């Protein structure tokens, strides 16, 4: 395993943790716990209490992921890195800088919905680019053959899941769009089922395993979503503030895992699909 491939995997894992940390900021209502940016109360080391723990902690993690992503972009210049992996690394490095700017604007402009939703969606996009970079950099990927039918359903599922996440961001930041978010989930379920079926009927063992992960991720995400909705509408469910925030963030993280499962299956099944 090359240094580039190992670093790409580590950066993608760190980006997923960053998504969780960002979700906790929203779920706990800590977006304006620190009113200035890029410093926190004019310092790099504010007291980590209350909402400051979530907001400033998120900033610290984001800084670490940004640094890792920029190092990845530098490593992409090394010989032997494939062109698709290099492009994904460079796009991710540009995306993480824009993401940092959007994060600052959400604070300075007092959480405007358009900026907040864009920040949430771009965060998922950067995570996907880093994950794609890790997959494309692996030696096994270069040797894989294509399975066009699996690829089409997995790629379609990825697009549907990304839109579903955008609708979820709309719900989280505006409180509107919940019916659309619920209805659109059916398209994700259908495409996941089709991707799973085609992988099991026409794909090799490796694709079947990935399809099984997808078949686990989607129902799990549905269950997390239903529970989050139940907590939202049923006043008889008594839950602590942080416990409720963890459940809401788990739903967001489950969406990222679903997106990752679709993307991994799509890239692994693509191979020479374009030429098939």
Instruction: From 105, 122, 143, give the residue that closes a domain.
Output: 143
User: Which pLDDT band holds residue 183 (cuts at 50, 70, 90)?
Assistant: very high
> Quick one: which of 89, 113, 115, 90 has its CA closest to 101?
115
Average pLDDT over every residue of 8-18: 97
What is the 8-class DSSP label of residue 274? G
Residue 160 and residue 225 share a domain: yes
Residue 151 and residue 122 share a domain: no
Residue 214 and residue 132 share a domain: no
State residue 151's pLDDT score: 94
Average pLDDT over every residue of 144-162: 91
Q: Which domain holds residue 161?
A: 145-276
DSSP notation for 28-93: TT-TTSS-SSSSBTTBSS----THHHHHHHHHHHHHHHHHHHHHHHHHTTSTT--HHHHHHHHHHH
Which residues, in sequence order, are CB contacts of 155 under 8 Å at separation 6+?
262, 266, 270
Residue 178 and residue 222 share a domain: yes
Residue 97 and residue 30 share a domain: yes
> Per-residue pLDDT for 140 more than 90?
no
| Tens of pLDDT, residues 203-241 | 888 899 999 999 999 999 999 988 877 776 665 566 666
User: Which pLDDT band holds residue 143 (cuts at 50, 70, 90)?
Assistant: low
State residue 272's pLDDT score: 37
State residue 227's pLDDT score: 84
Residue of 82 and 235 predicted with greater confidence: 82
Q: What is the C-alpha separation between 233 and 71, in angstroms, rounded?
A: 45
Residue 252 and residue 115 share a domain: no
Residue 235 and residue 129 share a domain: no
Instruction: From 89, 112, 143, give the residue that closes a domain.
Output: 143
């Amino acid at each position: 395993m090359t240094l580039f491939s190992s670093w790409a995997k580590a950066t993608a894992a760190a980006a997923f943790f960053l998504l969780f940390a960002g979700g906790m900021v929203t779920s706990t209502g800590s977006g304006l716990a620190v009113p200035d940016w890029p410093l926190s109360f004019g310092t790099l080391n504010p007291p980590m209490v209350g909402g400051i723990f979530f907001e400033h902690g998120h900033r610290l993690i984001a800084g670490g992921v940004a640094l890792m992503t920029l190092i990845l972009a530098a490593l992409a210049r090394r010989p032997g890195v494939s062109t698709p992996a290099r492009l994904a690394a460079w796009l991710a490095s540009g995306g993480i800088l824009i993401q940092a700017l959007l994060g600052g604007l959400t604070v300075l402009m007092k959480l405007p919905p358009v900026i907040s939703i864009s920040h949430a969606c771009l965060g998922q996009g950067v995570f996907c680019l880093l994950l794609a970079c890790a997959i494309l950099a692996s030696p096994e990927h270069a040797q894989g053959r294509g399975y066009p039918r699996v690829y089409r359903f997995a790629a379609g599922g990825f697009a549907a899941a990304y839109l579903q996440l955008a609708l979820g961001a709309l719900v989280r930041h505006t409180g509107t769009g919940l019916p659309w978010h619920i209805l659109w989930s059916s398209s994700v379920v259908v495409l996941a089922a089709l991707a799973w079926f085609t992988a099991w009927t026409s794909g090799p063992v490796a694709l079947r395993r990935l399809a099984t992960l997808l078949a686990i991720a989607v129902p799990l995400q549905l269950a997390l979503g239903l529970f989050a909705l139940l907590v939202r509408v049923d006043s008889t469910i008594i839950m602590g503030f942080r416990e409720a925030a963890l459940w809401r963030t788990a739903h967001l993280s489950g969406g990222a895992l679903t997106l990752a499962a679709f993307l991994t299956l799509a890239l692994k099944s693509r191979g020479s699909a374009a030429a098939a």
